[in-house]
């Protein structure tokens, strides 16, 4: 439990909570990018450099931008999104709180046998780009190809869905 972890965790949780709680949808996405950047910093702290930078590239650079574009296209006026109704608010909050309580209990009561893990060296295990590339090209080559296919399909599918029919575009 180091100071850097506490600070990063606080930033991440604050960003994510603001992303889910703010009224203005664009503010939500901007807060979300803070949360994503916080998660990327946590990855760096854990020694996963490649994943951290990928996180920034994909989530901050692509997903967040995509989300604000979608908000721009669907909201003609910069109006605040309506707040949920009170009973719904209570029920949803209760479900989320219950999920967190169960997970926290599981983590604390060693139900996941966390303590049984071998003692760890302080230095992070190495995951250089070289090692990741080797693993992607040998052990994980089939998933890699499938993900490539999936991304192509998603790209074409997203364009087709978002473009709509020709007559509608007028």
Partner 1 sequence: MTQTLDQIFVLAKHWLLGFLPAAIQPFCSALLSVVAIILVFATLFAITTWLERKGLGRMQNRLGPNRVGPCGLLQPLADGIKSLTKEDIVPAAADHAVHFMAPVLLVAASFLGYAVLPIGRNMVLTNLNAGVLYFFAVGSLMELAVFMAGWSSRSKYSLLGAMRAIAQMISYEVPLVLASIVVILHTGSLSTVAIVDRQAVYTGIWPHWFVFTPWGLAGFVLFMVAATAESNRSPFDLPEGESEIIAGYYIEYSGFKFALFFLGEYIGMFATSAMAITLFLGGWAAPFSFLTWVPSYLWFFAKLLAIISAFIWVRGTLPRLRMDQLMNLAWQFMLPMTLINLLAAGVWQFMPAGVARWPVCAAIVAVPFLLLARGLKQKRKFQLRTYRFSQ
Partner 2 sequence: MNPLQGYLLLSALLFSIGLAGALLRRNAILVLIGIELMLNAANLNFIAFWRYGPVPAALTGIMFTIFSIAVAAAEAAVGLAIILAAYRHSRTTDLDRMDSLKG
Residues 81-140 that bind partner 1 (CB under 8 A): 128-130
Q: How far is the CB of 129 from partner 1 (least distance, A)?
A: 5
Query: What is the token pair recorded at 34?
Result: 């803070």
The DSSP string of the chain is --HHHHHHHHHHHHHHHHHHH-SSHHHHHHHHHHHHHHHHHHHHHTT-HHHHHHHIIIIIIIIHHHHHHHHHHH-SS-PPPPPPPHHHHHHHHHHHHHHHHHHHHHHHTTTT--TTSPPPPSSPPP--HHHHHHHHHTTTHHHHHHHHHHHHHHHHHHHHHHH--TGGG-
Tell me if 33 contacts partner 2 by CB under 8 A: no
Cα–Cα nearest to 19, from 1, 40, 33:
33
Q: Indicate the residue among 101 and 137 with the shorter CB distance to partner 1.
A: 137
**Sign of torsion, CA 123 129 135 136?**
positive
Tell me if 111 contacts partner 2 by CB under 8 A: no
Q: How far is the CB of 166 from partner 2 (least distance, A)?
A: 13
How many chain residues bind partner 2 (CB under 8 A)?
Answer: 83
Kindly write out the interface string for residues 6-45 of this chain, putting x where it contacts partner 1 by CB under 8 A and - elsewhere: --------------------xx--x--x------------
Kindly write out the interface string for residues 77-106 of this chain, putting x where it contacts partner 2 by CB under 8 A and - elsewhere: ----xx-x---xx--xx-xxx-xx--xx--
Tell me if 164 contacts partner 2 by CB under 8 A: yes
Among 10, 20, 65, 107, binds partner 1 (CB under 8 A): 65
In the complex, which residues of this chain contact partner 1 (CB under 8 A)?
A: 26-27, 30, 33, 49-50, 53-54, 56-57, 60-62, 64-65, 68-69, 72, 78, 128-130
């Amino acid at each position: 439990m180091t100071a850097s972890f506490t600070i990063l965790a606080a930033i991440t949780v604050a960003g994510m909570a603001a992303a889910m709680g703010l009224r203005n949808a664009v503010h939500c996405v901007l807060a979300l990018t803070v949360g994503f950047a916080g998660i990327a910093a946590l990855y760096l702290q854990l020694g996963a450099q490649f994943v951290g930078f990928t996180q920034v590239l994909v989530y901050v650079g692509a997903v967040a931008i995509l989300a604000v574009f979608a908000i721009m296209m669907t909201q003609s006026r910069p109006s605040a999104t309506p707040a949920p109704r009170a009973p719904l608010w209570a029920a949803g909050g209760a479900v989320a709180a219950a999920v967190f309580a169960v997970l926290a209990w599981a983590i604390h009561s060693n139900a996941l046998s966390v303590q049984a893990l071998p003692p760890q060296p302080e230095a992070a295990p190495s995951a250089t780009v070289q090692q990741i590339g080797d693993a992607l090209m040998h052990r994980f080559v089939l998933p890699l190809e499938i993900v490539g296919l999936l991304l192509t399909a998603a790209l074409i599918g997203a364009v087709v869905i978002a473009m709509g029919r020709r007559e509608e575009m007028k």
